[in-house]
Structures are given as C-alpha cells and as structure tokens.
Amino acid sequence: MESGSGGGGCSARTLAACVVGGIVLGASVLALHLAGPVAIPSLPPVDALRRRFRWRRRRPVRVYMDGCFDMMHYGHCNALRQARALGDELIVGVVSDEEIKANKGPPVTPMHERMIMVSAVKWVDDVIPDAPYAITEEFMYKLFNEYNIDYIIHGDDPCLLPDGTDAYALAKKAGRYKQIKRTEGVSTTDIVGRMLLCVRERSSSDAHNHSSLQRQFSSGHGQKIDDGGSGSGTRVSHFLPTSRRIVQFSNSRGPSPDSRIVYIDGAFDLFHAGHVEILRLARELGDFLLVGIHTDQTISSTRGRHRPIMNLHERSLSVLACRYVDEVIIGAPWDVSKDMITTFNISLVVHGTIAENMDFMQDDSNPYAVPMAMGIYHRLESPLDITTSTIIRRIVANHEAYQKRNEKKEASEKKYYESKSFVNGE
C-alpha cells in the first residue's frame, strides 16, 4: 500500500509539472506570434571565416628597398623585381637630391623625375620620398613601426658611407636584412661613363677609332676598359641578355580578341621620366599598350654614330619593367606598315609632341604614312619636355663633376668585380 501510494503521488507531481510547462510554452508561443517575426543573426559563411582566420594568422610581408635610382635602368628594375619576390608588398625609398650630392656627387636626374621612374616600375607598391642615404636607427624603427616593414633589402654589392662604414649595418644587426643578387652588366656609373667616353671621343682628334665607339655602346661586348688619356677606366656595355631575363620582365597575358590595342614606337634610349609619362597617356587610350623598340642600327642611322647609349636588349628590359606597358616588339621596323597593323590588330598608333626628331612629317618616307591614311594616327601632347639628348646635355654641361664622381665610384666597382663570388639569385 505504501508503495502504491508513493507511486501515485509521483505521478500526480509529474502531471502537474507537465501542465504548468505546457501553459508556459503556450504563453511563449502566443507572445512570439503577437510580437511578429524576430530576426535571428546569421552566421558568417565558412569561406569568410577562413579568410578572417588566415588574415589574423598571416599579414602581408612588407619589404623595403631604397636607392638613389639616378638615371634609372634595367639593373635597378631587376633589383626591385627580386626584392618584391621576397615579400608580398614592396615599399621603395628614394634618396633626396641633397643626400646624393653629399654622399656620391650631383645626381643627373632630379628628385621629381626619379619619383616618376620608381613609381612606374610594375613591382613597386608604394614609394617613400626623401629617404636617407644611410639607414639610421630612428629611420629603421620608423620603417618597422609606421610602415610595418618586415625586411630591408639590398644587393650583394657593398654600400659604404664616406667614412667607410656599412650603410645597412643596423638592419643586419637587427636581423631584418635580406640580400639579393646584383644585376650584372650595368650601373649608373657605367652609363655615365659611356657618355663621358662619348664626350672625350668628340673632343679628341684621330687618337681614337671613332667607328668602334657605336659598336662598343650597342653590341654588348665583354668588359672593356677605355683609358681616354685620363687614367680613369670606364667600362662600356657588357650586358649578356638571356631568354630567362626577358621572360622575368614580361607580362604573362596577351590582348583579348576585342582589346583596343595602342601602338607607340621609338628608341627609348636612357629610359627617362618623359618616356614614362608618354607611355602612361598612351595606355589610357586603350586596353593594351604595344611598344615598338627600334634597332641599334636604325637609331644610329637617324641619331648619329654615338647613339644609342643603351643597346637594344637593355632598352627592351627598361620598357618592359614599366607598369603601363603590356608588350614590346624587340627590333620594331621604322615604318608602321599595313601588314604590321593587321598582324598585331592595332587600333591606334600614337606619337608624342616631344621627340629627338620631329621632322618625319616633312620627310618623303614618313614612317606613319599608313596609319595616317587609315585615320588611326593620334598625336599625344607630351607632359614633360625631356628627351635622351636632355639627359646627355646634363652630363656634358657638368662632365667634370661627373668625371670625379665616376672616378671615386669606379674604384669600389673594380674592387667588387675583382673579389666577387657567385651569389644564388634571380
């Protein structure tokens, strides 16, 4: 009996709990119904969660490289390409005119032109103007803390201050320094030396073989030394072009079938800010910019035996490194023919208002006669009044200062080449 009475009491309590629970549940449902639909926060998609997790786990690696970038050439561009490959974002410091003058001698190209050149290199993400020549402790921590720089990059060639100390000693000590391979065959010292050689050649009598000068400038011979009567050795071009280097500088994509292809041609010798700006404007006129680069022989016949200063492959790499250029024709013909326009599906042929030779309009053999007749020729207003001759005149006008600068630099260059060893790199 007691057992039966206990079981009956438990059942009664259970029944009462169920009744009360049902009333509460019913009241809740009624309240929800009267209140209307309630927005339930949605969970983020799985892909978004994964991306957020990856971002927290790994931010972009930011690398920094600085330089004077005076008379910027393909060697500078290849250094920037290698630096960019060591990280996700490349920040470039451009040394001020005053710092260059104090440490190396007068720059050939002023700060604003050098900024245009560096900003136009397709591997550069951002530029810092007026960077110091030597990385001080204060500037180094500014790079680390304000610009979120992970590593400071420089080539395997030594960069010494006037007192003989290493300009990158602090970065090395901090363990935040990485080294890339120097690009063989070119330096600003080399290029200035080629023009100084040209100046001495013009001012001398028959003491030199004039006919060999252009071949030395343009054929990519091995290292040669010209004494020029000054006792200063000046290397002329010993650039050794490889198919791999051209591939590294080239874009991997071609034009689509419906692309508006713009064509511009020229020598592009001593690639400068005037070239960059006209290429920028040309690219804005279409979807794909095709650049024709004339042969050394074509330039010699139209500009004189001392030109070009840079050979065809050197000039091609400089143009390919420009972010506004999609493709180049290495050794483009002087005349733009109907067959060429059809082959490359060219929509527009352009030319700037500032160039070495603007007399082609009056010539019987106008190289743009065909595109003019087809109504696809356009003349672009050049933003900058700079030509290759402008750069040469700057050096000729101040050649004594540049000669002294080169003599000092050539000593370290010679030491580098005599003691250099193989460095693995791109």
Higher pLDDT, residue 59 or 261:
261
Q: Name the least confident of 29-38, 84-93, 150-159, 334-343.
A: 29-38
The fold for domain 62-180 equals Rossmann fold (3.40.50)
pLDDT (mean) for 41-65 = 67
> 362-390 pLDDT, tens per residue?
667 899 999 999 999 999 999 999 999 99
Give CA–CA dist 309/44, Å, rounded. Answer: 60
Give CA–CA dist 174/159, Å, rounded. Answer: 18
pLDDT band at 5 (very low <50, low <70, confident <90, very high): very low
Give CA–CA dist 16/316, Å, rounded. Answer: 92
pLDDT (mean) for 57-82 = 92
201, pLDDT greater than 70: no
270: phi > 0 → left, psi -120 to 50 → alpha, else beta; which? left
Contact 355, 318 (CB under 8 A): no
Q: Which of 9-18, 350-359, 414-423 has the highest mean pLDDT?
A: 350-359
Q: What distances in angstroms separate CA 365 from CA 137, 218, 298, one per listed residue?
A: 61, 26, 14
pLDDT (mean) for 323-330 = 98
Give CA–CA dist 184/70, Å, rounded. Answer: 17
DSSP state of 183: P
Question: What do you get for the CA distance between the two ends of the chain, in Å?
Answer: 97
DSSP state of 61: P
> 385-403 pLDDT, tens per residue?
999 999 988 888 877 666 6
Give CA–CA dist 114/272, Å, rounded. Answer: 9
Please state, as a whole number, how many other Cβ atoms lie within 10 Å of the Cβ of residue 53. Answer: 10
38, pLDDT greater than 50: no
pTM for this structure?
0.75
pLDDT (mean) for 50-69 = 78
Higher pLDDT, residue 182 or 170:
170
Grouping H, G, I as helix, E, B as strand and the rest as coil, residue 253 is coil
Q: Residue 15: its pLDDT value, please?
A: 55
Higher pLDDT, residue 422 or 307:
307
> 279-317 pLDDT, tens per residue?
999 999 999 999 999 999 999 988 888 889 999 999 999
Q: Residue 265: its pLDDT value, please?
A: 97
Give CA–CA dist 419/105, Å, rounded. Answer: 25
Query: Architecture of 254-386 per CATH?
Result: 3-Layer(aba) Sandwich (3.40)
Q: Residue 372: its pLDDT value, please?
A: 96
Contact 326, 289 (CB under 8 A): yes
- Which residues partner with 261 through β-bridges? 288, 346
- Same topology for domains 62-180 and 254-386, yes or no? yes
The domain spans of the chain are: 62-180, 254-386
67, pLDDT greater than 70: yes
